[in-house]
C-alpha cells in the first residue's frame, strides 16, 4: 500500500514537471511568434501592426537589443510615412536608447537615435522653438566614465596596495622604501575611488535614466508649480528620481 502511494506521488510529481516544462515551452514559443509577427509586419510596411506586436513582445519577454531596435524603427517609419502620433519620436528614441543600454557598440542604433534627435530639432525650429536637451549632471558624467563594477575593483586594488605597503614598510632595505611609496599612493587612491564607487552605487539604486516621450516635458516643483526654464524636448534623455503616478 505504501509502495503504491509512493508510486502515485512520483507519478503526480512527474506530471506536474511535464506540465510546467510544456507551459514554459509554449510561452516561449508564443513570445518568439509575437516577435516574428512584428518583424514581418515591419518588413511589409504595416507599421501599426508592427508596433502593436513589438510592444506586446516587450511587455512579455526579457529585453533584447534586436527587439528594441526594431520597435524604434517601427515608430520612426510611422513618422516618416506621415502617420505619426504624438510621442512617436520619443518612443523611437526610448527604444534606441534601450538598445544602446544593452549593446553600446550598436552603430545602427546610435545613428537612428541621431536621426530622431535631428527630426525633433527640425520640427521645433520650424515652430520657432529651440530643441532643449537635458544634460547629465557632473556626478553622473564622472561615475559614467566606467562601470560600477570597475570602480569597486579599483577601490579594492587600492586597498590591497595600501595593505601591501604597510607590510613592506615594516621590513628593511628596499622593501621599506617601496612600502613608503605604496602607502601614501594606496591611501590616496582609496580616498578617491571608494567615494566614487559608493556614489555610483547610490545613483544606480536611487536614480534612473528615462526618455521624454511626450512632445515636451515641463518641469514642475513638488507642489505642481512650473519651474523657470524652457521645456525639455521630446526624445531627450533625462535623469529620473522618484516617480509618481
Do 173 and 233 fall within a single domain? Answer: yes
Give residue 21's pLDDT.
42
- The answer to whether residues 176 and 107 belong to one domain is no
Pairing state of beta strands 216-217 and 208-211? Answer: unpaired
| Number of separate domains in the chain | 2
Determine, yes or no, domain membership for 171.
Answer: yes
Same domain, 117 and 147: no
Q: Is residue 131 part of a domain?
A: no
Considering the domain boundaries, does residue 176 fall inside one? Answer: yes
Are residues 199 and 139 in contact, defined by beta-carbon separation less than 8 angstroms? yes
- 118 and 146 together in one domain: no
Tell whether 120 is covered by a domain.
Answer: yes
Please state the pTM of the whole predicted model.
0.60
Same domain, 215 and 169: yes
Does residue 119 belong to any structural domain of this protein? Answer: yes
Residue-level pLDDT at 222: 63
Domain boundary among 78, 93, 126: 126
In this structure, is residue 37 part of a structural domain?
yes
Q: How many residues does the chain have?
A: 245
Residue 23 and residue 54 in one domain: yes
pLDDT at site 193: 92
What is the predicted pLDDT for the residue at 228? Answer: 62
pLDDT of residue 91: 87
68 and 32 part of one domain: yes
Asked whether residue 132 is assigned to any structural domain, the reply reads: no
Q: What is the model's pLDDT at position 118?
A: 84
| H or E segment and range at residue 139 | helix 138-143
Same-domain status, 235 and 146: yes
- C-alpha dihedral (226, 231, 236, 238), degrees to nearest 10: -30
Q: Name the stretches of the chain with pLDDT < 70.
A: 1-32, 34, 127-136, 208, 216-231, 235, 239-245
60, 112: one domain: yes
Q: Single out the residue in 64, 97, 126 at which a domain terminates.
A: 126
Range of the domain at 20: 2-126
pLDDT at residue 221 in the model: 64
Whether residue 199 sits in one domain with residue 235: yes
How many CB atoms neighbour CB 140 within 10 A?
Answer: 15
d(CA 119, CA 124): 9
Do 102 and 159 lie in one domain? The reply is no
In order of 89, 90, 97, 104, 206, the CA distances from 111 in angstroms are 14, 15, 11, 12, 30
Of 100, 126, 152, the residue at which a domain comes to its end is 126
- Say yes or no: 166 and 208 in one domain: yes
245 is a domain residue = no
Domain of 78: which CATH number? 1.25.40.10
Amino acid at each position: 500500500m505504501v509502495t503504491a502511494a509512493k508510486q502515485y506521488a512520483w507519478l503526480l510529481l512527474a506530471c506536474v514537471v511535464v506540465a510546467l516544462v510544456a507551459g514554459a515551452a509554449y510561452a516561449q514559443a508564443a513570445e518568439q511568434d509575437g516577435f516574428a509577427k512584428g518583424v514581418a509586419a515591419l518588413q511589409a510596411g504595416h507599421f501599426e501592426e508592427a508596433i502593436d506586436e513589438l510592444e506586446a513582445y516587450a511587455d512579455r519577454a526579457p529585453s533584447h537589443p534586436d527587439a528594441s531596435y526594431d520597435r524604434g524603427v517601427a515608430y520612426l517609419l510611422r513618422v516618416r510615412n506621415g502617420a505619426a502620433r504624438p510621442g512617436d519620436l520619443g518612443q523611437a528614441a526610448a527604444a534606441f536608447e534601450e538598445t544602446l543600454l544593452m549593446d553600446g557598440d550598436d552603430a545602427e542604433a546610435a545613428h537612428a537615435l541621431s536621426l530622431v534627435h535631428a527630426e525633433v530639432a527640425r520640427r521645433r525650429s520650424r515652430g520657432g522653438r529651440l530643441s532643449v536637451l537635458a544634460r547629465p549632471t557632473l556626478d553622473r558624467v564622472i561615475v559614467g566614465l566606467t562601470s560600477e563594477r570597475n570602480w569597486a575593483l579599483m577601490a579594492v586594488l587600492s586597498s590591497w596596495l595600501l595593505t601591501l605597503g604597510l607590510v613592506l614598510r615594516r621590513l628593511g632595505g628596499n622593501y621599506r622604501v617601496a612600502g613608503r611609496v605604496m602607502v601614501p599612493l594606496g591611501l590616496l587612491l582609496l580616498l578617491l575611488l571608494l567615494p566614487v564607487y559608493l556614489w555610483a552605487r547610490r545613483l544606480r539604486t536611487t536614480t534612473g535614466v528615462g526618455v521624454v516621450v511626450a512632445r515636451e516635458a515641463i518641469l514642475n516643483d513638488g507642489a505642481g508649480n512650473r519651474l523657470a526654464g524652457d521645456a525639455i524636448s521630446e526624445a531627450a534623455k533625462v535623469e529620473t528620481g522618484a516617480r509618481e503616478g
